[in-house]
Amino acid sequence: MANVSPELLEILRCPYCVSGATRQPGDDPGRLTLYRDFWLVCQTCPRKYPIREGIPIMLIEEGDKWSGVNVEDLPVPPPTT
Amino acid sequence: MRQSAETQFARNAERYARSTVFADSDNLSMLLRVVDPQPHWQTLDVATGGGHTAIACAARTRHVTATDIVPQMLAAAGRLARERGLTNIDFALADAEALPHPDATFDLVTCRIAPHHFNDPARAVREMARVCKPGAWVAVIDGIAPPDRAVADEINRWEAERDPSHVALLTVNGWSALFCAAGLEAAHLSTLDLRLDFDEHMQRADVDAQTAAALRRRLLCGSPAMHDWLKVAVEGDTITFNWPLILIIGHKAAQA
């Protein structure tokens, strides 16, 4: 169980889609779906962010690493590095 | 430079988390006194480091999100929060220049003694303003550079040798300009002196003896203007100096 609080999950977004020059259109881009308690999957782009030891890894380069992996192929739990 | 910060703070996470300089200091007390956090507030602490600001806010506000780019710092901050019995603080690994939050989420965004590590502090301030609710607050504390560019460069070079993740200190005017450009109206601006002990300053960054000796010489033999800015004092073997800080609090205009 990744054990991330619902309060935090509610206010997390894909940093690529929500910030800076790469911001996507819409009022609330980069919404995330929790997958098998260990992954946050962007609903706007292909990026996926692992949750390691209860801490979401919300770095764009981390999301990039997993963007080519199908959701059903994401390792659970995510690898440590 | 971000890689440097990750390396530097991963090595010294526990030391920073347990540092009295970063814990219950006058500058943190002043931030809290000016902002007066309210129990219903949602707070974000950017580049939380040892978590001291986040923990202080968690004792006063409904929920705190603490972010950093160094996993070891978040782990150390998490241990400190658990020791204090706080359950309303969550952690996320995030870049201050690309915050993983929707617009207008937080009642208070804090960032304390960290922006001098940022490659693009203007972008970080824009991000803090973006995630701040209209009518809410962004509060930053950081070291400041003197207005004289040559002296500022001398101090930045000295500090970067101690801590390779140091990028640059901004001037007071530089900070005002960043807040203004991000749409934050400065509601409070003050400067404070943080008195540092040279040996402790070196130990916190795990500086080797040879580098520490060189930095000691450069501090003692620096330009008169650098001495004047840092108010270097020597008493026996003990060297102390000031690290001037800014506390700047911006108010995001409420939507019309």
B133-187 pLDDT tens trace = 999 999 999 999 999 999 999 999 999 999 999 999 999 999 999 999 999 998 9
User: Is the confidence at residue A28, as pLDDT, over 70?
Assistant: yes
How many residues comprise chain B? 256
Question: Residues of chain A with pLDDT > 70: what percent?
Answer: 98
Q: pLDDT value at position B185?
A: 94
Measured between beta carbons, the chain B residues lying within 8 angstroms of A7 are: 63, 90
Contact B97 A20 (CB under 8 A): yes
Contact A58 B93 (CB under 8 A): yes
Q: Chain B within 8 Å of A2 (Cβ-Cβ)?
A: no
**How many C-beta atoms surround the C-beta of residue A67 within 10 A?**
12
Nearest CA in chain A to B127: A19
Count of CB pairs separated by less than 8 Å, A with B: 71
Amino acid at A50: P
| Within a domain: B76 | yes
State the pLDDT confidence band at A16, using cuts at 50, 70 and 90: very high
CB B43 within 8 A of CB B37: yes
Domain count of the fold of chain B = 1
Pairing of strands A39-42, A32-35: antiparallel
Q: How far is residue B114's CA from residue B216's CA, in Å, rounded to a whole number?
A: 24
CA distances from B3 to B70, B82, B119, B172 (A): 10, 28, 11, 27
Average pLDDT of chain B is 92
> Cα distance from B119 to chain A (closest Cα, Å)?
14
User: Is the confidence at residue B17, as pLDDT, over 90?
Assistant: no
Element spanning B92, H or E: strand B89-93
Those residues whose C-beta lies under 8 Å from the C-beta of residue B11, and which sit 6 or more positions away, are: B206
Q: Is the pTM of this model over 0.90?
A: yes
| Within a domain: B212 | no
User: Is the confidence at residue B3, as pLDDT, over 90?
Assistant: no
Residue B53 burial (C-beta neighbours within 10 Å; 0-12, 13-18, 19+): buried
Measured between beta carbons, the chain A residues lying within 8 angstroms of B92 are: 8, 12, 55-58
Distance of CA B125 to the CA centre of its chain: 13
Q: How far is residue A56's CA from residue B93's CA, in Å, rounded to a whole number?
A: 6
Q: What is the CATH classification number for the domain harbouring B179?
A: 3.40.50.150
Q: Write the residue in A5, A54, A60 that is nearest to B98 by C-beta.
A: A60
Average pLDDT of chain A is 95
> Cα distance from B58 to chain A (closest Cα, Å)?
14
Contact B101 A56 (CB under 8 A): no
CA distances from B122 to A4, B115, B119 (A): 31, 10, 9
| Within a domain: B64 | yes
Nearest CA in chain B to A58: B94
Q: Write the residue in B90, B98, B105 that is nearest to A15 by C-beta.
A: B98
> Cα distance from B154 to chain A (closest Cα, Å)?
32
Q: How far is residue B116's CA from residue A60's CA, in Å, rounded to a whole number?
A: 22
Q: Write the residue in A11, A52, A54 that is nearest to B101 by C-beta.
A: A11
Q: pLDDT value at position A31?
A: 98
Question: Residues of chain B with pLDDT > 70: what percent?
Answer: 90
Reading phi first (left if > 0) and then psi (alpha if -120 to 50, else beta), residue B168 is in beta
Contact A8 B92 (CB under 8 A): yes
Provide ipTM, 2 decimals: 0.96
Q: Chain B within 8 Å of A7 (Cβ-Cβ)?
A: yes
User: Is the confidence at residue B253, as pLDDT, over 90?
Assistant: no
Q: Which CATH class is domain A6-70?
A: mainly beta
User: Is the confidence at residue A19, as pLDDT, over 70?
Assistant: yes
Q: How far is residue B234's CA from residue B221's CA, in Å, rounded to a whole number?
A: 12
User: Is the confidence at residue B5, as pLDDT, over 80?
Assistant: no
| Within a domain: B91 | yes
Task: Give which of A46, A42, A47 is closest to A12, Cα–Cα.
Answer: A42
Identify the domain containing residue B185 by its residue range.
2-147+163-195+244-252
Residue B54 burial (C-beta neighbours within 10 Å; 0-12, 13-18, 19+): buried
Q: Write the residue in B91, B94, B130 that is nearest to A59 by C-beta.
A: B94
State the pLDDT confidence band at B26, using cuts at 50, 70 and 90: confident
Q: Listing from the earlier edge strand, what are the strands of the sheet with A48-52?
A: A32-35, A39-42, A48-52, A55-56
Domain boundaries, chain A: 6-70
Measured between beta carbons, the chain B residues lying within 8 angstroms of A14 are: 100
